[in-house]
Each structure stands twice: as structure tokens, then as C-alpha cells.
Amino acid sequence: MPNLEPLIGKSRAELEQIVIKFGHKPYRGRQIAHWIYEKAAQTFDDLKDLPKNLREQLEKEYVVSPLFLASHRTSTDKVDKILVHNGDNQVFEAVLLPYEKRVSCCISSQIGCPMGCTFCATGMGGFDRNLTHNEIVAQYLFLQSLSDRRISHVVFMGMGEPFLNFENVVAALKILHEEVGLSYRNLTVSTVGLVPQILKLAEHNLPIHLALSLHSPIDEVRSRLMPVNNKWDVAETWDAMKKYQRMTGRKVMVEYLLISEVNDTPEQAEALAKLVRGTPHVVNLIPFNWVDTGNGFQRPARSRINTFKSILEQNQINVTERVERGHDIAAACGQLAGQHQGKFARRTPSNPLTVVP
């Protein structure tokens, strides 16, 4: 494909400068912004009130969206999962999650992931590259084009570690807030716990939610599940989260994947309660969604989930359990990236796609 620059991801001011370059009035740039960010336009044909000559001028240098659709599946519980790419045949995934009272989406920050968490399908596919801020924002807008309802909540919990792509993620957050109009308080970024970036994000003072993928309060167990713990252990990581909370005033979210007879023991529930107590928080329990990572991990029995949750509640911990969505199309937590095979892949993709730009 020609090396055309996407309009998605540009501010209104930048769009105004583009149309001025072509000899048009600045308000034409605001019209483009309206169609892209409020109407989720995907092509120049969608920009219905632009003069033909301006569209023709734009088409020589720009595309509206950088994304091509490789696959679109809908689950039995009405979750949509899309696989997209920018023409380089490396697909990444985003998920549309409709609920009764709101619509959310889960988007990716990288193609693949280099972090190597042993319970996650994304890491099994290896890592290819960081996504640009344009590609990140374009995922939201593509999903919005599929939904009759406004997508009000965005979670950066798709493929990749957002903090390894820090600048593009922050730029995307700002576009989603300033141009799309989403509240920062409805944006959530999840990290495995990169301590310097946690503190760096705090300095930006964006009132977003920060979620820590903890998965065990015990270093020995967490290191077995998440290699990142060998660099920043539980104590150092949690200290950074506490500093983030104090600097921003936002509750921190703790994501805790429950794996049968690995990290779902009463002892770890007690240790988790001791760790988070005293810091404004929410602990989100996520029963393991089965994916074959070669480690034999299994979802805990309901009785073990209930016991773990009960111990936290008895310790006055603010705890919720994530509602499983999209399991039958591998769109649930930890299942993304079944189609991706990047550099250093540890397995071939299931049901491989032939991706054509």
C-alpha cells in the first residue's frame, strides 16, 4: 500500500493546518474532526460534507484510518472481536463489550507482547512492534463504527504492555479525551508493573485508572507467573502504586487472575489483603479463562473462588469478580492473540488467517 498518513490521531488544530495547506478554510478541518471523532468515519466517502476537490487532494497524501480488517467475530453474548492490521500482515486485536448500562472496549498497545507471562496467550505469539498512537485510537473508532451506542469506557488490556509503548499510549489517551470527548475517569491502563513508568505516569497527572496485574502477593509465585517480578518484586511494585495513588488521588485497581492451586490459596488471599490494606483500591478477581500455554493451568472450582473472595471481604478489602465475556470467540481476558505470530513466537497461531491488505 502507498505510505499514506492517517488522519485519525491528529488534533483539530493539526487537521485545520492540513486543509489550509490545500487552500481551504480552517473550518473544513473541524468538519473532518467531527466526522472522525464524533461519527467514527472510516473512509473519505464517509466525510459527506467535504467538497469533492478537497477529498481528492487529501486522498493523495492521507487515509482516514490506518487499519484494515482481517477478521470480525461476534460471540453468543454479543461481544465483538476484531483482528486488524496496517498492511504489514501483523494482526492485533480489539474487543467491543456491550453492557446493559454502558459500552466498553478493550484495545491493544503492541502487536504481541514481550513480557512472557506464563498464563497469557498474547506472550505465546511473540512480539512484533509497538503500535502508533494513530493505530491505538483507530481501534476505538473502528469499534465505535460497529456500535449503535456510544463507547464510553476504554481499557488498555488487549495485546501488549502499555508502558513499553509509553509515549504512544499517553498520546492516545489525550486524543481519546481531548478529541473524542471521553472522560479520563473512564480510561484504564493496565500494566504488569514497570516501576519507572508507573512513577512517570503519575507525573503526567492524568486522572485515569491504573490497573496492576499482580496475580500473587508472594514473590516466589509471582516470579513463576510473571518474569517482570524478577526485576521489580512485589514490595517495590506496590510501593510505586502507592506513590501513584498519593500523587493522583485515584484508587488503584489490582487485577488478580485466579489459577487453580497456584495462586488461589487462602494464604495468598490473606497476604493480598495485608498488602493492599490502607491504600484506596479495588481488587478485581479474574477466574482463569482457559488457554493452552503449555503450563497445565486450570480455572479454579467455584468453591475455591468463593473462599478466596470471602477472605478478602472478611478483611474489608474492596473486591469484585470480573464478568466473563466473549469466551467462545477467545475474546476473554488472557485469550487474545490466537492469530498473532510475531518475532520470538513460541507457537504457531491457531486457525491462521490469510491477511490481505
User: Within a 10 A sphere around the Cβ of 305, how many other Cβ atoms?
Assistant: 18
Residue 330, pLDDT score: 53
Give the active site residue among 105, 106, 120, 333. 333
Residue 328, pLDDT score: 55
0.75 cut: is pTM over it? yes
Contact 273, 317 (CB under 8 A): yes
Residue 339, pLDDT score: 52
Residue 298, pLDDT score: 93
> pLDDT of the chain along its 357 residues, tens only?
458 999 999 999 999 999 999 999 999 999 999 999 999 999 999 998 999 999 999 999 999 999 999 999 998 888 999 999 998 878 999 999 999 999 999 999 999 999 999 988 777 778 899 999 999 999 999 999 999 999 999 999 999 999 999 999 999 999 999 999 999 999 999 999 999 999 999 999 999 999 999 999 999 999 999 999 999 999 999 999 999 999 999 999 999 999 999 999 999 999 999 999 999 999 999 999 877 777 889 999 999 999 999 999 999 999 999 877 555 545 444 444 445 555 444 444 444 443 333
Angle at 144 between CA 13 and CA 114, to 5 degrees: 85
Identify the CATH number of the domain defined by range 5-63.
1.10.150.530
In whole angstroms, give the CA distance from residue 319 to residue 140.
28
Q: Where are the domains of the chain?
A: 5-63, 68-329
All residues at 6 or more sequence positions from 198 whose CB lies less than 8 Å from its CB, including other chains = 163, 191, 210, 237, 240, 241, 243, 244
User: Within a 10 A sphere around the Cβ of 26, how many other Cβ atoms?
Assistant: 14
Check if 333 is active-site: yes
Fold exhibited by the domain 68-329: TIM Barrel (3.20.20)
Check if 93 is active-site: yes
Tell me the CA end-to-end span of the chain in Å, nearest whole number: 7
Give the active site residue among 16, 93, 135, 255. 93
Cell of 272: 493480598
Cell of 208: 485515569
